[in-house]
A and B are shown apart, each in its own frame.
Chain A
Amino acid sequence: MSMDESLPSNDKIISYLDGLMDGDERSDFEARLRQDPQLQQQLEDARIAVEAVRQFGARERVGALHRELMKELQTEKPEARVINIRRTVRYTMAVAASVLLILVGVQTFNYFHNTPDRLYNDAFVDYSLSLERGVTQNASEIEAEYKRGAYDRIVANVNSLRLTARDSFLTAVSFLKTGQTAEAIHWLLAVDPYSPNYQDAQFYLSLAYLKNKNYKKALDLMTGIHDDPKHPYHANISDALIEKVRKLQ
């Protein structure tokens, strides 16, 4: 009998891993496990795969709640600040005029100079489905919503477990279009490198990082796109844009 034939089947290894073996069967399996390095390796590989699923599950679950909770925590902030404003109203009023002047100055300065938002708006190109294909019977619900411009509805109803790679990408762009940059980054990072939308995702991720003032990451991606003449967004990342982002650092 060869080594492979003497090994328990994959089903048995998984039954052991899932805790489905009864007493005797489990004892026999464990006795064999102690003496068989190949079986130990197979069991370890199965455990590693299960760990991957658990880490993925944690990412999915937290990702699904993150936006809701951040919104909740942000809406609670102003109430907490009212008390502080009342307590410090005299001091606040005393500096209000100065702050206003500074703000006006900053706004004026920003108008004539680079800001991440301005660069983002200049570089942003709309991702349109209309040129690829119409909304057909085969189009997903998200594709149809995207085509209608219902970005708010896409991000409100997102359930990542049910999404295809393409739907995940469209969800990411929808987060970007609704101004939820941190969520957009999360979804863009999750776009499968083997997905047809991976290069689209790289471009939009670079813009999302720019908007999020994460200039180092934005530049890394932009430089990669700029240096690759075959990249579909090569022409969208100019020397001037890279230089402007560099100055923001």
Chain B
Amino acid sequence: MAVHSKLFTDGELIRNLTENVSVDDSIRFLYRQYFDFLKTFVISNSGDIHDAEDIFQEVIISFISLVKAGKFRGESTVKTFLYSINRNLWLNELKKRGSSQQRELKYEHGKEENDATVGLAIESRETSQRLMAAIGELGETCKKILVLFYFESCSIKEILGAVNYENEQVVRNKKHKCLKKLEETIRSDKVLYQQLKQYVNG
């Protein structure tokens, strides 16, 4: 069954993700356009289809985070950028798995890139569990309010419709308290703090 898919240029993709427009369609486009291309690298370098799927999911998460943090400035194509993230994530995974698979990748070492932006993706994956733990400490309402405001770009009025509070000011106060609580939690985890700091300042 052919799947109707929207087509986006690189510029449209970046704008969509930055301005939070058609985000789901943009993610679908990235999967349909680039999964087959990127899985080949993983499968031809000691991975299987499940590895390729896991790594691709991380690639897309990292790509969105990097675009939203303004770290992708269109100096390469989206395809090249995704390839670099995919390659670095998979090489890092192989390093963690052990030396036998690493030896098979000797020819790749000469192609290692010192791309700090792509390096952020590796650290982001490494600290993902810490991130989930920090957000998990917030509780469901805080999590919802912060994600709706800072990721989905919803207005306070729209958030009021999604949570059970009296008025917009109460939502606003709650949002401030939630953010403060998250700041404190992240400050207590130095590894996570440093990783996120690189996104903000790096």
Is B57's CB under 8 angstroms from A63's CB?
yes
Query: CA–CA, A54 to B129, complex, Å?
Result: 15
Q: Is A189 an interface residue (CB 8 A)?
A: yes
Query: CA–CA, A186 to B57, complex, Å?
Result: 10
Q: Which of B7-15, B104-112, B140-148 contacts A (4 or more CB under 8 A)?
A: B140-148
Q: Is B160 an interface residue (CB 8 A)?
A: no
Other A-B pairs beyond A14-B176, A45-B186, A60-B147, 4, CB < 8 Å: A14-B175, A48-B183, A72-B32, A164-B140
Is A50's CB under 8 angstroms from B150's CB?
yes
Q: Is B61 an interface residue (CB 8 A)?
A: yes
Is A65's CB under 8 angstroms from B187's CB?
no
Q: Is A32 an interface residue (CB 8 A)?
A: no
| Interchain residue pairs with CB less than 8 A apart (24) | A44-B197, A44-B200, A48-B200, A49-B179, A52-B135, A52-B182, A53-B151, A54-B65, A54-B150, A54-B151, A55-B65, A56-B132, A58-B68, A61-B23, A61-B64, A62-B61, A65-B31, A66-B57, A70-B31, A181-B50, A189-B128, A189-B132, A192-B137, A194-B137
Is B35's CB under 8 angstroms from A73's CB?
yes
Chain B nearest Cβ from A64, distance in angstroms: 9
Is B1's CB under 8 angstroms from A50's CB?
no
Which residues from B are CB-within-8-Å of A192? 132-133, 136-137
Chain A nearest Cβ from B19, distance in angstroms: 14
Closest to B98 in A: A216
Query: CA–CA, A6 to B69, complex, Å?
Result: 31
Which residues from B are CB-within-8-Å of A56? 131-132, 135, 143, 147, 151
Binary CB contact string for chain A from 229 to 249 against chain B (1 if under 8 A, 0 otherwise): 000000000000000000001
Which residues from A are CB-within-8-Å of B1? 75-76
Query: CA–CA, A82 to B197, complex, Å?
Result: 50
Residues in chain A within 8 A of chain B (CB atoms): 10-11, 14, 44-63, 65-66, 69-70, 72-73, 75-76, 161-165, 181-182, 185-186, 189-190, 192-195, 212-214, 216-217, 249
Chain A nearest Cβ from B30, distance in angstroms: 9
Query: CA–CA, A47 to B69, complex, Å?
Result: 11
Is B200's CB under 8 angstroms from A58's CB?
no
Question: Taking chain B's interface residues, is the majority helix, strand, or loop, or is none over half, making it mixed?
Answer: helix
Task: Given A61-B27, A193-B133, answer yes or no on A45-B50 (Cβ-Cβ < 8 Å).
Answer: no
Is B147's CB under 8 angstroms from A53's CB?
yes
Chain B nearest Cβ from A213, distance in angstroms: 6
Within 8 A of A (CB), among B76-101: 96-98
- Kindly identify which residue among B53, B68, B131, B200 contacts A70, using a CB–CB cutoff of 8 Å: B53
Which residues from A are CB-within-8-Å of B187? 45
Chain A nearest Cβ from B160, distance in angstroms: 16
Is A45's CB under 8 angstroms from B183's CB?
yes
Which residues from A are CB-within-8-Å of B136? 165, 192, 194-195
Q: Is B60 an interface residue (CB 8 A)?
A: yes
Query: CA–CA, A243 to B1, complex, Å?
Result: 45
Closest to A14 in B: B176
Chain A nearest Cβ from B3, distance in angstroms: 6
Which residues from B are CB-within-8-Å of A10? 176, 180
Query: CA–CA, A47 to B182, complex, Å?
Result: 11
Chain A nearest Cβ from B39, distance in angstroms: 9
Task: Given A69-B28, A69-B31, A216-B96, answer yes or no on A49-B23 (Cβ-Cβ < 8 Å).
Answer: no
Query: CA–CA, A162 to B27, complex, Å?
Result: 21
Query: CA–CA, A219 to B65, complex, Å?
Result: 31
Which residues from B are CB-within-8-Å of A217? 97
Is A49's CB under 8 angstroms from B64's CB?
no
